[in-house]
Structure 1
Amino acid sequence: MKKIIFFVVSLSFMSVILFGCQSNDNNGHSDVNISKFSISKSSGFGKVNSDFFTVYKDKETLDIFKNAISNAVKREGIANMAEPKFDIKVIYTDGNKQGYHQWVGEKGQKSTLMNVNDTYTIYSISEEITNRLIGLVK
C-alpha cells in the first residue's frame, strides 16, 4: 500500500513540475507585464551588455515588445546562431529582470529572440512584429 501511495504522490508531483514548465514558456518569464526595456549592441552570448543606447518606458513601445515576447514561437532543436546583434534587458512590473539576445530581420522577415540564460533555445518573432521592432532597435 505504501508503494502505491508513493507512486501516486510521485506522479502528482511530476505532473505539477511538467505543467509548470509548459505554462512558463514565454521565453523564460510567465509575467509579460513590462515596466521598462533597454537595448544595447550585444557583446556576446550569455550576458547582457549594460551599455544601453536606448531605454523605453512608454506604454505603446512596451506593448510592442510585450507582444514580441508573448507571441514568439519556440523553435525545435538546438540553436546554432551567429553572435547576437542586440541585447535587451527587460524589467517586469513585479521587479523581475530578464535578458535577451535579439537578431532583428529586415522588413518582411522574421526575427529571433533568445533568453540569455538558455542559449540553446531560440524563438521566432513574426514578420509583422519584426516590422514594428525595426524602428526600435536601429
Structure 2
Amino acid sequence: MKKIYLLFILALALALALSACQTVHEKIEPLDDISKISISESGGYGGINNDFFMTISEKKTISGIEGVIKRANGKKHVVDVSDDKPDYDLLINYADGGTHLLQLVLGSEGEESIFTYVGHEKNGFYVSPEDTKLLRDSLELQ
C-alpha cells in the first residue's frame, strides 16, 4: 500500500512539474529601471538584428512603452517561425546592466500587436489596439 501511495505522489509531482513547464507567463515583467530601448527591423524569429535604426532613451517615451509592455496579456501563440517574421526586434537595456530581447509584431491601427521573447515565440503577449496606437506613436510609425 505504501508503494502505491508513493507512486501516486511521484506521478502527481511529475504531472505538476510538467504542467508548470507548459504555463504561459501572464505578463512581461521588466527587471529594473529601463535605461534605453534599441529597435531594429527583424530578420525573423529566434535571433535579433543588431543594426538598430532607433534608440529611445527619453524617460517619458520609455515609460509609455514600458506601460504597454506591462499591460500585454500572455497566452499561447501560434506562429510558423519558418514563414512568419516579427516586424521589429527590441533590445531592452536596464539601469543595472541587464537586458531583455523582445520581438514585436506591430498591428495596424485598430489591431492588436504581439510581443514575444526571442526564442520563446509560442508564448505571445498581446497588446490592445489602444496600446498598439501608443506603440506606433512612440516608434513614429503611422
What percentage of aligned pairs have identical amino acids? 25
Q: Is the 8 A contact 2:93 2:99 kept in 1?
A: yes
Q: Which amino acid aligns with 1:107?
A: E
Alignment-derived partner of residue 83 in structure 1: 85
Q: Which has the larger radius of gyration?
A: 2
Stretch of structure 1 that moved more, 87-96 or 71-80: 71-80
SS in 2 for 1:52: coil
In structure 2, the CA distance between the partners of 1:31 and 1:86, relative to structure 1 (3 Å rule), is: closer
1:65-80 → structure 2 map (5 Å cutoff): 65-76=65-76, 78-80=78-80
Alignment counterpart, residue 122 of structure 1, candidates 103, 116, 124: 124
Task: Give the Å deviation of 1:113.
Answer: 0.7
Q: Is the 8 A contact 1:32 1:69 kept in 2?
A: no
Task: Give the Å deviation of 1:79.
Answer: 3.5
User: More strand by proportion, 1 or 2?
Assistant: 2
1:26-41 → structure 2 map (5 Å cutoff): 26=27, 30-35=29-34, 36-41=36-41
| Consecutive unaligned residues in structure 1, runs of 5 or more | 1-10
Q: Is the 8 A contact 1:34 1:90 kept in 2?
A: no
| Consecutive unaligned residues in structure 2, runs of 5 or more | 1-11
TM normalised by structure 2 equals: 0.72
Q: Which amino acid aligns with 1:30?
A: E
TM normalised by structure 1 equals: 0.74
Q: Is the 8 A contact 2:86 2:105 kept in 1?
A: yes
In structure 2, the CA distance between the partners of 1:116 and 1:77, relative to structure 1 (3 Å rule), is: closer
Task: Give the Å deviation of 1:117.
Answer: 2.6
The 2-side partners of 1:82 and 1:66 are apart by: 25
